Structures are given as C-alpha cells and as structure tokens.
Amino acid sequence: MRYVRDGIPASPGIVIGPAHVLHWEMPRVPRATIPEADVEAEIERFHAAREWAKARIRALREDVAERLGPVEAQIFDPQIVMLDDVDLVEPTIAYIRENHFSAARAFELRMLEFQSAWRRSGHPLVVERLNDLLDVQLWVTRYLLGLPEPDFSLSELEHPVVLIARDVTPTFTVQLDRRKVLGLATDGGSRTSHSAILARSLGIPAVVSLGDISAIVENGQEVVLDGRAGRVIVEPTEFEKSVYRERDIRVREWEQELVLLAHLEAVTPDRQPVLLRANIDLPAEAETARAHGA
C-alpha cells in the first residue's frame, strides 16, 4: 500500500531503494537484588563499567576525528562528561548501597530518572540530546550484563537499503556504511540532533520526525526518500519514481553550477559589490558556506 509521510529534512539527497526496518532496544535488566556482602564489589563493577564505556567512546571519537573531522568528533564529548556526572554516579551508587540493587538495575533506574527530567524540561536542545543519553546507557548496561559490544555493521544486508528506525543514536549513525545505507528515515529526531549532524557529514540523505514510519513500513517495500524536502513515499508509483529521479539529476546539476558560480565575483549586473553571507547551525558548516562563495 502506498504511503506518504512528511517530516523534517535532516540531510539532503534523493534515494530510491528497498526498506530495511531496524528494530533495536536496550538490553533487558534482571530485577534481582544482591547480598549485602556484595555491595562494595558491585559498586566497583559500576565504576569499571564507566571507565570501559569512556574508553570505548574515546576510541570512537578518535575514529570520527580521523574520518569526519574534529567538529564531528566533539559530538561525543558530552557522553564522556555524562559518565563522570556526580548527579548520575552518586545516586546510582546510593541505589546499590541502600537498596541492594545490582549495578545494572541501579544504573537503569537513574537513567530513567534522567530521561524523564530531560523530557519534562521541554527545551529542544535538551530533548534532542536524549539519544546521547541512550548511547551512554547502552555502553554501560551491556558491560554490566556481560554482553558483547553492540554490532552496528548491518553485515546481514545483501544490498543497499533505505534504513527505517524508530530512532538512532550517534554511535549507531557514525558507524553506518554508506555502501549499504542509501538513506535514513526515523520516527523521531530533529535537524540539529547529533545523529542528524553525523548523517550530513557522512553524506547519507535523511528525514527525521516522521511519526510512525517504522511501524507502517515492511522490509523490502520500495521507498523514495527526499532528504531535501523531508518526504518519504512508500511503494511509489512508476511516475513518482521517474519524477524523483529527474529531480535528483536536476539538483546535482544545480549543485555543480553553484560550485562554479561561487568562484565568480559577487557583484550585481551594474558591478555593485554584494556581501554574500550564510546562516549556519554549526561551525563545521562554515567550510561548506565558504565553498559556495560566502
């Protein structure tokens, strides 16, 4: 059945391909308690999990700095800071010591409290950082439960797909293989979320805030994703596919023309100079603005 969903354009580009619906969730934490004699050892396990998570995030940060640049790498700095946040660490320890919760259960409870407080704040810059919080929770929880590192390679894919998900975290986004992922469509998110920023840096077309797209699309259904207009069409007609293919060609031609025009002198037809400026969201976008003549 044909569906059309309009969301927020997060990364430009037009792609057509089969959908792959990604279902992922936080590992389930057992509700068991621990003996009082194990409390201090459990607190040490929590500290070890934090240190391990920081080491993994730092390694990821270094990889991003090398592949995408220093500005994109800074996206992971808040996650490292979160892991040392007294408001996160001390209450977790208190839950272990006073309630005899396991480290995983105590940490899960504190993270739920954090998430609830951030959502209640209603501030867009706070709410859109919830995925960073999920990244932190994912690393620490998997260590405490003895689970392997999360696999974001999508190695099971046999051909390129348009990835559909409820949401994605920065750690997941930055490890996407451009050869396997044509585009990205998510139920939630915003244009200035860290995941959206990384999608743009990777050159992966993306549309976010699509509502229920992950619930209505099935694996293998053909999808048109327009990351410039913020539209996703499920099971498009042949006419729609031809329209978007032509639009993609035109946009690419316009972009090439703009690069050429950017090197010309910025003047009116009667030779009056014009100051060309650009409105940017992030410092890294200054490079693109300069390349286009700003």
In DSSP terms, which residues pair with 241 in a beta bridge?
none
Q: In the chain, where do the E strands start and end? A: 3-6, 8-11, 14-22, 161-165, 181-186, 206-208, 222-226, 231-234
Tell me what pLDDT residue 14 has.
95
Q: Which regions of the chain are under pLDDT 70?
A: 153, 281-282, 284
Residue from 293, 259, 258, 256 nearest 276 by CA = 293
Q: β-strands 206-208, 181-186: how paired? A: parallel
Tell me what pLDDT residue 103 has.
97
- Total-model pTM: 0.78
Tell me what pLDDT residue 257 has.
83
Tell me what pLDDT residue 185 has.
97
Tell me what pLDDT residue 43 has.
97
Q: What is the DSSP letter of 38?
A: G
Tell me what pLDDT residue 122 has.
73
Tell me what pLDDT residue 281 has.
65
